[in-house]
Amino acid sequence: MAVALLAATVVAAVSPPRFYQDDPIWTDDDKLLDASKVTFVEDSNGYDFLINTFGKPGQRRDVRALNVNTVDEVPDSSWFVNRIGRRAMTIEDIVRGPDQRTVASLDGWVVSKGKSTGVQAGFRMNDPSGQTYQIEFDPPSNPEMATGAEIIGTAFYHAFGYHTVEVFLAELDPKKIVIAPDARIEDPLIGDKRLMTRRDVDDVLRRSAIQPNGKYRVLASRFATGAPLGNFRYYGTRPDDPNDIAAHEHRRELRGARVFGAWLNHDDSRGVNSLDFLTADGSKKYVKHYMFDFGSIMGSGTKFEQRHRAGNEYIVEWAPGWLTLATLGGYVRPWMLIDYPKVPPSVGRFEGVAFDPIKWVPEYPNPAFENMRPDDAFWAARIVSKFSDQAIKAVVEKARYSDPIATKYITETLILRRDKVLKTWLAGVNPLVDFAIDPQGQLTFSNAAVDVHAATPASGYRLTWARFDSVTNAATRVGSEVTSQEMLSRVPAELANTRAGDYIEVQVSATHADHPTWAKPVVVHFRRVAAGWQLVGMER
C-alpha cells in the first residue's frame, strides 16, 4: 500500500495540470520554428488515388482530435481561422469571402504561362501590376457550371474558416488576348516546356464555353503570397516542417471537412486539391495550408456535369461491384435510381431528396474523414447551422447564373441538404452548448440542435456538480443530482464561495425519447476569477 501511495504521489508530481492559466487557447502558434528548409512536394492524381484506395495511409484510431483546445474548439492556426463558427458574420462578409477586388474585364492582362495541373481548361495571366492569376473556363456543354461552383465553394469554405485564395468572375475578349514573349507551356509531346503560341491559347478556347457576345466568362484565382510547396496530405505530418506536429488525420478541421463536403457534395475533397505556401512572418517563415479547387462541388464535375456515382460510392468498391457481376447486372446500385430533376446545364447533376449525410463519400477514401468522430461532426455541423437561408441565397447569387431557375434550384437544394446535415450531426450527440455562470451564480446553457429546429426540446436535464483539482484531475462530487426542466441551474452553495483559481465541474445530460445519445453528459469546467466564473473546459 505504501509503495502504491508513493507511486501515485510521484505521478501526481510529474503529471501536467489539466488546465493552465492561459486556457482556453484560441491561437495555436504554429509559426514558432523557422520552416524555410521545406521543399516542394506534389502528389500526382494517380498516386493520391492509389495510396488512399489501396494503401490505407495514416492511423485509423478512435481518438479525440489532437488539436482542439480545452473547450473543445479548434484554435486559429496556419490551417484554420475561426470565422462564422465563433463570430457573427454579415451576409456581405460571407459573400465577399477572401476577395479583395472585382474586375469586369481582363483587357490589358497578359497570358504568362500554361496551366499545368487540373482538368479545367485555362492558363495563367498577369494583371497590369504583375500579379499572377489562374484563369479557368467553363465546358461548352455546361456554361457557367464550373466557374459558378468555384465562386460558391470558395465563399463557403472561407466562411467555414479555411484559408482560400481570392477569386472573381470576369469576361475575356479573345480578340484582345496578349501572350507574354517569355510565356511557356508544358508540351507532353516533347516532355518539356516550350514557348506558348496563339495556337495553345486557341486550343483552350475551343474547349471552353463562349457567350453570345463572343466573349468568355472566366474565373480568375489570385495566387497566394509566398512560395508554393505542393499539396498537403490528409494523413501523417509534413516531415520537413518543424511546426507540423499533429497527425493530419487527427486534426479536427480536416476530419470535420467531411461534413462540409457532404453538404456541398465536394466529392473532390482530397490532398491534391490543396496547396501549401511558404509564407513569411517577420524574419521567420512558416507553411500556410490552403483549401483549393472547388470546381467539382454541387452538380459540377468541372469538365462535365457530375456523375451519378459521385458522393454515393467510391471509385473502387468491391462489394457492390462483385454483386453486380454475380447477378449479371441484376443488382441495381441505389444511386442509379436517384431521380435528378431537369435543370439548366449550369446546375449539373445535384439533388437533395435522396441525399443521406451518413452515406456520403468522396471519390476515394480520405483518412481524416474516416477518423471523424461524433464530436468532430458536431463541431462542423454547428458551423453549417450558422448559414441562414438568406446567406445561402446570397452566396449562390454571387455565381451570377444567367438563368434564375439555376439560382433558385441550387439555393433550395443547399437549404434542404443543410437541414439534413443538421438533423444528422447536430442531434447525434448531446448538443448542449454556450455554458456560462453569471455573477449571481446561475448556470445557463442552450441546445444547438433545438435552436436551429434540428430536434425538438429535451424533456428535462440532469446535472451533477463537483469540486475539481486541476493538478490531480480528480473531481469530488458535491450534493446530489439536480434535475431541471429548463436550461439553467444554480451553483450549489458549497461551491459558491470558492477562492480565485479554484475549479468546479458540472456534468449535464439531457433526456429525449428520440435521442438516447443525449444521456451522455457534457463535462464542463469553470475557473473562479475576479469577475466570477470563466469557462475553461468542455468535452462531449
Angle 323-326-328 (CA atoms, 0-180°, nearest 5)?
105
Q: Of 115-119, 199-203, 333-337, which gets the smallest average pLDDT? A: 115-119
Residue type, 101: R
The predicted structure's pLDDT at residue 10: 46
Residue ranges covered by each domain of the chain: 432-539
Please compute the mean of the pLDDT values over residues 315-329 and round it to a whole number: 86
| CA atoms of 64 and 73, how far apart (whole Å) | 12
Q: Of 161-165, 324-328, 342-346, 504-508, which gets the smallest average pLDDT? A: 324-328
Using the structure block, give the residue that is written with the C-alpha cell 518539356: 192
User: Which secondary-structure segment (H or E) carries 288?
Assistant: strand 284-291
The predicted structure's pLDDT at residue 2: 44
Residue type, 470: S
pLDDT at 1 exceeding the cut of 60: no
Write the DSSP string, 211-273: -TTS-EEEEEEEPPSSEE-B---SSS--TT-TT--S-GGG-HHHHTHHHHHHHHT-TT-SGGG
Write the DSSP string, 393-461: HHHHHTT--SSHHHHHHHHHHHHHHHHHHHHHHTTTS--EEEEEE-TTSEEEEEEHHHHTTSSPPPSEE
Q: Is the CB of residue 512 less than 8 Å from the CB of residue 455?
A: yes
Compute CA distances 237 → 51, 58, 241, 273, 288, whole Å: 16, 9, 8, 17, 14
Please compute the mean of the pLDDT values over residues 444-470 and round it to a whole number: 96
The predicted structure's pLDDT at residue 329: 80
Neighbouring C-beta atoms of residue 305, cutoff 10 Å: 22
The predicted structure's pLDDT at residue 122: 87
The predicted structure's pLDDT at residue 284: 86
The string of pLDDT tens digits covering residues 63-89 is: 999 999 999 999 999 999 999 999 999
- Domain spanning 432-539, CATH class: mainly beta
The predicted structure's pLDDT at residue 116: 65
pLDDT at 527 exceeding the cut of 60: yes
Decide the pairing of beta strands 178-187 and 110-114: parallel
All cell numbers assigned to 265: 457534395
Q: Is the CB of residue 69 less than 8 Å from the CB of residue 538?
A: no
Angle between helices 257-264 and 374-384 (to 10 degrees): 50
Q: Is the CB of residue 254 less than 8 Å from the CB of residue 162?
A: no
The predicted structure's pLDDT at residue 531: 86
Q: Is the CB of residue 509 less than 8 Å from the CB of residue 479?
A: no
Decide the pairing of beta strands 522-529 and 122-126: unpaired
The predicted structure's pLDDT at residue 15: 75
| CA atoms of 196 and 442, how far apart (whole Å) | 70
The predicted structure's pLDDT at residue 485: 92
Per-residue pLDDT band at 14 (split at 50, 70, 90): low
The predicted structure's pLDDT at residue 7: 44
pLDDT at 238 exceeding the cut of 90: yes
Decide the pairing of beta strands 132-137 and 216-222: antiparallel
Per-residue pLDDT band at 118 (split at 50, 70, 90): low
499 or 522: which leads in pLDDT = 522
**Which of 66, 76, 61 minimizes the C-alpha distance to 26?**
76
| CA atoms of 314 and 309, how far apart (whole Å) | 8
Per-residue pLDDT band at 6 (split at 50, 70, 90): very low
Please compute the mean of the pLDDT values over residues 236-250 and round it to a whole number: 96
The predicted structure's pLDDT at residue 252: 98
pTM of the model: 0.93
344 phi, psi to nearest 5 deg: -60, 150
The predicted structure's pLDDT at residue 496: 83
The predicted structure's pLDDT at residue 12: 45
